[in-house]
Amino acid sequence: MTFVAVVGGLLVPGLGQAIAGRRWWALGWAVFVPLCQIAVLVLSPWLFYVSFAARLFAAVQGGWFVRGTEKPVWLAALPAIVVAVGIGLFIAMRAVIGNGVTSSGSMYPTIAIGDRFFVATHPHGIERGDIITFDYPCDRGAEQYVKRVIARGGDTVEVRCSVVYVNGIAVPATAVPGACAYQDRNETTGVWTTLSCSRYREQVGGRGYDVYGDAERPARERDPNRSEGDPRDFPSRLRPVEPSCTRNNDAFRPSPAVVLTKPAATACEPQLHYIVPLGTYFVMGDNRNNSSDSRVFGAVPENLITGRVFAIWLAEGKDGYVWSRIGRLD
């Protein structure tokens, strides 16, 4: 009987207390544990661990109360109320909070391989700088992607010499001094490799975050005789086509979404921009040279967005858990 009460209490906090007739303990745990989990949405991901510890304690306490009760009441109003409250709050929590994990290095350094994150599943008013999850536009339902929103429908986007321009204005980017390297994992073989990079601090929509570029970017920026852009500049002057899942078929098809603004521009000047279609979002990975994003498959339709990432709740890297990475992202 005690074992059943403990197991039941793990599933529905407060159940053991309700069976033992401890009304206030039962209702208190039934409400506190789920609300603690929901509070993760606005406070700290560490509350997830607090709620888990509280659930364990409540289950053990409930079993202890049942053990000390001469006539536990299994079929009564109080246990039924606790079960109803527990199920209702669990459904409410699942309706507003989801979770995910990334196996790609495209969002370094913000989200690393192995990071598990919480997602607000019904995001409203997505802004520039938000990190979103969405169905891969080229194969809907097959895979979830995680990227950062750079621009919204109606905005213009251009990348020249790794500087991002939104509506013709350069996104502020400041080099972060010091060595830069990260661990990347081949998704097919599982082999880890160390890659060199450069690190920059960007500001989009009043939100600051770090991005990775290729290791040679700082040297190119110091070159006074520079005549070429960067490898991932966008749109390409050589192939000025609208990014899409069928871009290879559109190689010689002009698009009104790609507008030439300065034919005689130098490599690093704004010259050719992309107009983000209404009802879509232009997204990029923070690991700019190691990301398949809107520069490749185009802007993401709003109906494919599945959530907004707001916190990392567990981080597991090559050498084990990285507790310092746990925290909010907004």
260-277 per-residue burial string, b: 16 or more CB within 10 A, e: under 16:
eeeeeeeebebbbbbbbe
Is the pLDDT at 251 greater than 90, yes or no?
Answer: no
Tell me the C-alpha to C-alpha distance, in Å, between residue 130 and each of 91, 133, 165, 184, 298: 26, 10, 17, 24, 18
Omega of the bond leading into 231 within 30 degrees of 0 (cis): no
Is the pLDDT at 103 greater than 90, yes or no?
Answer: no
114-160: per-residue pLDDT in tens?
999 999 987 778 999 999 999 999 887 778 899 999 999 999 999 99
User: What is the model's pLDDT at position 202?
Assistant: 95
Task: Return d(Cα 291, Cα 106) in angstroms, integer.
Answer: 5
Residue (of 164, 155, 167, 233) closest to 203 by Cα position: 164
Question: In which element (H, E) is residue 275 found?
Answer: strand 272-275
Is the pLDDT at 249 greater than 70, yes or no?
Answer: no
User: What is the model's pLDDT at position 303?
Assistant: 92
Is the pLDDT at 74 greater than 70, yes or no?
Answer: no
Is the pLDDT at 71 greater than 80, yes or no?
Answer: no
Higher per-residue confidence, 141 vs 172: 172
Single pTM value for the model: 0.89
HSE value, Cβ hemisphere, 13 Å, CA-based, for 133:
23
Residue (of 18, 21, 38) closest to 29 by Cα position: 18
Task: Give me the domains of the chain, ranges plus CATH numbers.
Answer: 2-97 (no CATH), 102-328 (2.10.109.10)
185-209: per-residue pLDDT in tens?
887 787 889 999 999 999 988 889 9
User: What is the model's pLDDT at position 253?
Assistant: 64
User: What is the model's pLDDT at position 247?
Assistant: 60
Is the pLDDT at 250 greater than 70, yes or no?
Answer: no
User: What is the model's pLDDT at position 234?
Assistant: 93
Tokens for 320, please give them. Answer: 């084990």
